[in-house]
Structure formats: C-alpha cells, structure tokens
Amino acid sequence: MKLSVSAELCMGHGRCYALAPEVYEPDDEGYNSARGEIIEVADEHAHSAARGARACPEGAIEIVAGGPATKEPR
C-alpha cells in the first residue's frame, strides 16, 4: 500500500499517528512527518494505515496504491 500525505492539507491534528503510530509519526511541530511525501506501508499495517487516513479531518492522507483487502470494523 502507498499513501500520499498532503503538505497543504495537513493541519497537525495528530489523529493519524494517535491511531496508527506504527505507520505515522509526528514531526517536531506536531504535523505528520511524511507531509509532501508518498510512503510505502507494509501489508501487516495496511488496516491501521487506512484507519489513520480515515481519521484525518482534513483528508490529507490519500491511499494511492493498494489498500486493505477488507474493511476494518470501527
């Protein structure tokens, strides 16, 4: 799975890394440290990566390739 993290949309709410710390991490200012990048996510973290992306109120994280095969229950 690959994710794109928008530098323009990320406002530093931190929901992504609060829900999926194995995928996302904050920078020194509390924003997603991968802002402006495309990141590769290991298959075993696909569900938590998607959960963190869904939690972003700004929609700053987009799944650009792959994705979890099944929906994770909320």
Tokens for 18?
């609060």
Q: pLDDT 10s digit of each residue in the chain, 74 long?
A: 999 999 999 999 999 999 999 999 999 999 999 999 999 999 999 999 999 999 999 999 999 887 665 444 44
24 has which bridge partners?
none
Distance CA 58, CA 71 (A): 21
CA 72 to each of CA 10, 22, 29, 31: distance values in angstroms, whole numbers, following the listed order:
24, 16, 30, 25
The confidence score (pLDDT) of residue 67 equals 64
Q: Which pLDDT score is estimated for 54?
A: 96
pTM over 0.95: no
Asked if residues 12 and 31 have their Cβ atoms less than 8 Å apart, the reply is: yes
